[in-house]
Amino acid sequence: MIARRPADLQVESSHQGGTKHPLRRVCRDGDELLGRLGLAAEDLAADPFPAFALRVPDAFIARMRPGDAADPLLRQVLPTLAERLAVPGFVDDPLAEASANRVPGLMHKFAGRVLLIVTGHCPIHCRYCFRRHFAHAANRPSREGWAQAFDYIRRDDSVTEVILSGGDPLSVSDRQLQWLIGQIEAIPHVRRLRIHSRLPVVVPDRLGPGLVGLLAASRLQTSLVIHANHPRELDDSVAEALSLLRREGIVLLNQAVLLAGVNDRVEVLAELSERLFAIGVLPYYLHLLDRVAGAAHFAVPDERAILLQQALLTRLPGYLVPRFVREIAQAPSKVPILASTASTGR
Ligand X SMILES: *Cc1c(COP(=O)(O)O)cnc(C)c1O
Residues making contact with ligand SF4 (CB under 6 A) = 122, 124-126, 129, 131, 166-168, 198, 227
**Residue 260 to residues 49, 70, 128, 295, 332: CA-CA distances in angstroms?**
23, 11, 11, 10, 27
Provide, rounded to whole angstroms, the least separation between the CB of residue 165 and ligand X.
Answer: 8
Return the residue of 55, 102, 113, 315 that touches ligand X, per CB under 6 A: 113
Return the residue of 2, 56, 115, 258 that touches ligand X, per CB under 6 A: 115
Provide, rounded to whole angstroms, the least separation between the CB of residue 130 and ligand SF4.
Answer: 7
Q: Which residue's CB is nearer to ligand X, number 115 or number 202?
A: 115
How many other C-beta atoms lie within 10 A of the C-beta of residue 85? 11
Q: Which does 109 bind (CB under 5 to 8 A by kind): ligand X, ligand SF4, none?
A: ligand X
The whole-angstrom separation of Cα 72 and Cα 77 is 9
Q: Which residue's CB is nearer to ligand X, number 140 or number 155?
A: 155
Given a contact cutoff of 8 angstroms between Cβ atoms, the answer to whether 205 and 21 are in contact is: yes
| Angle between helical axes of 174-185 and 144-155 (0-180°, round to 10) | 30
Does 11 contact ligand X by CB under 6 A?
Answer: no
The whole-angstrom separation of Cα 293 and Cα 290 is 9
Provide, rounded to whole angstroms, the least separation between the CB of residue 196 and ligand X.
Answer: 8
Provide, rounded to whole angstroms, the least separation between the CB of residue 146 and ligand SF4.
Answer: 20
Given a contact cutoff of 8 angstroms between Cβ atoms, the answer to whether 92 and 99 are in contact is: no
Q: Which residue's CB is nearer to ligand X, number 176 or number 254?
A: 254
Closest CA to 331 of 100, 147, 113: 100
Q: Which residue's CB is nearer to ligand SF4, number 103 or number 292?
A: 292
Q: Which does 158 bind (CB under 5 to 8 A by kind): ligand SF4, ligand X, none?
A: none
Q: Are strands 56-57 and 26-27 parallel, antiparallel or unpaired?
A: antiparallel
Given a contact cutoff of 8 angstroms between Cβ atoms, the answer to whether 252 and 283 are in contact is: no
Provide, rounded to whole angstroms, the least separation between the CB of residue 296 and ligand X.
Answer: 22
Q: Which stretch binds ligand X (CB under 6 A): 48-56, 109-117, 209-217, 291-299?
A: 109-117
The whole-angstrom separation of Cα 253 and Cα 241 is 14
The whole-angstrom separation of Cα 272 and Cα 234 is 9
Return the residue of 54, 77, 122, 163 that touches ligand X, per CB under 6 A: 163
Return residues touching ligand X (CB under 6 A). 100, 107, 109-110, 113, 115, 163, 333-334
